[in-house]
Amino acid sequence: MYVEQIGTGPPEVAVVGAIHGDEPSGAHAVEELLAADLDPAGSVTLVLANETALERGVRYVETDLNRAFPPRGTDPTAFEFDDTHEGRLAERLYDLLSDKLTLAIHSTQSHPEPFAVVVEPDTRRLEVCAALPVTAVVDSTEPSEGRMLEAVPTVEVEVGHQGSAAAARNAVELSRAFLAATGAVSAPTTTTEKPLYRLDRPIPKPADREYEVVVDNFEVVPAGEPFASVDGEPWSAETPFVPVLVSAEGYEDMFGYAATRVGSVTAEGVVDYD
Ligand SMILES: [Zn+2]
């Protein structure tokens, strides 16, 4: 794990890339910030989380780092981190980031536009979301599965398609907007209202078949309307839903998540429920 603190004083914010080694955009953004000769108001911690996986171009070495943290609702002081490469990284990240507002950079196989993901968001994280160049905010308080954003105060961003040049550009833009929004670096910010979605449930995927997804994420799928095909057969849900992080091959056992539009995050960083 590579960690560098720039500026002076106690670090209040952090930017983390390479939580998944096959998502190079976050590492690119961290490297750009390291090379940018920033002069932060306080100090900023920059992290390349899983350098080994990044070098190998794989999601993880032994276990998914973004499932190795204390799950939401559990006592983190009683949690035993895995004795694996990623378990040890999770423990170091937990110790390093628990007292900092962190931007965690990810990319997807599902959606080209950047969006933010938060768990039990407080005012400060909602204010950051309002100031980021994202098209949507997703409240992912469920499911509880040991992701980093359940254990440390995090705004996660999905910056675009894994490995794309657009995702790399978005990652740099989002990390600079994050530093401006938190006041770590003095720069103008633009706050706008964003649609807020709540993740409801995983959409299961049968094992060992051929898959295709035929809908766009963040667009409502009516009940009974095919959203995918499995071995060429249409695949639908009994209730309407908004697909989020839905792709053919992004996850082993699910297509992604079913979500509901619940309101908006206003320009002031307040939730305005429908
Ligand atoms: Zn990721």
Residue that finishes a domain, picked among 117, 152, 181: 181
| Alpha-helical regions (H) of 152-215 | 165-181
Confirm if 139 and 51 have CB atoms less than 8 A apart.
Answer: no
Distance 175 CA to ligand 1 centre (A): 16
Domain co-membership, 151 together with 210: no
Instruction: Classify residue 192: in a domain, yes or no.
Output: no
Instruction: Classify residue 165: in a domain, yes or no.
Output: yes
Domain co-membership, 220 together with 123: no
Distance 79 CA to ligand 1 centre (A): 23
Domain co-membership, 37 together with 137: yes
Distance 23 CA to ligand 1 centre (A): 6
Lowest mean pLDDT among 88-92, 143-147, 175-179: 143-147
Distance 216 CA to ligand 1 centre (A): 20
The angle that helices 123-131 and 165-181 make with each other, rounded to 10 degrees, is: 130
Domain co-membership, 112 together with 51: yes
Instruction: Classify residue 264: in a domain, yes or no.
Output: no
Instruction: Classify residue 92: in a domain, yes or no.
Output: yes
Domain co-membership, 81 together with 161: yes
pLDDT tens-place string over residues 158-212: 999 999 999 999 999 999 999 999 999 999 999 999 999 999 999 999 999 999 9
pLDDT tens-place string over residues 101-127: 999 999 999 999 999 999 999 999 999
Domain co-membership, 163 together with 123: yes
Predicted TM-score (pTM) of the model is 0.97
Distance 224 CA to ligand 1 centre (A): 31
Instruction: Classify residue 147: in a domain, yes or no.
Output: yes
16 phi/psi in degrees, rounded to 5: -120, 125
pLDDT at 131: 98
Domain co-membership, 155 together with 31: yes
Distances (CA, A) of 89 to 93, 126, 139: 6, 27, 25
Instruction: Classify residue 270: in a domain, yes or no.
Output: no
Q: What is the DSSP string of 14-51?
A: EEEE-SSTT-HHHHHHHHHHHHTT---SSEEEEEE--H
Residue that finishes a domain, picked among 181, 212, 233: 181
Distance 256 CA to ligand 1 centre (A): 13
User: Residue for token digits 């308080």?
Assistant: 141
Instruction: Classify residue 194: in a domain, yes or no.
Output: no
201 phi/psi in degrees, rounded to 5: -165, 155
Confirm if 193 and 135 have CB atoms less than 8 A apart.
Answer: no
State CA 233 to chain mean position distance.
32
Distance 19 CA to ligand 1 centre (A): 6
Domain co-membership, 100 together with 28: yes
Q: Residue 221 is part of which domain span?
A: 202-257
With b meaning 16 or more CB within 10 Å and e meaning fewer, what string describes 151-183? bbbbbbbbbbbbeeeebbebbbebbbbbbbbbe
The total of structural domains in the chain comes to: 2
Domain co-membership, 232 together with 118: no
Instruction: Classify residue 71: in a domain, yes or no.
Output: yes
Distances (CA, A) of 157 to 82, 132, 164, 232, 248: 25, 9, 15, 33, 21
Domain co-membership, 104 together with 235: no
Domain co-membership, 45 together with 109: yes
90 phi/psi in degrees, rounded to 5: -60, -40
Distance 15 CA to ligand 1 centre (A): 14
Distance 74 CA to ligand 1 centre (A): 23
Confidence band for 9, pLDDT divided at 50, 70 and 90: confident
Q: Which residues surround ligand 1, an ion (CB under 5 A)?
A: 20, 23, 106
- Taking residues 133-150, report their average pLDDT: 95
User: Rounded distance, CA 160 to CA 150, Å?
Assistant: 22
Domain co-membership, 83 together with 172: yes
How much is the mean pLDDT over the chain? 96
| Prior bond of 114 cis (ω within 30°) | no
* CATH assignment at residue 78: 3.40.630.10
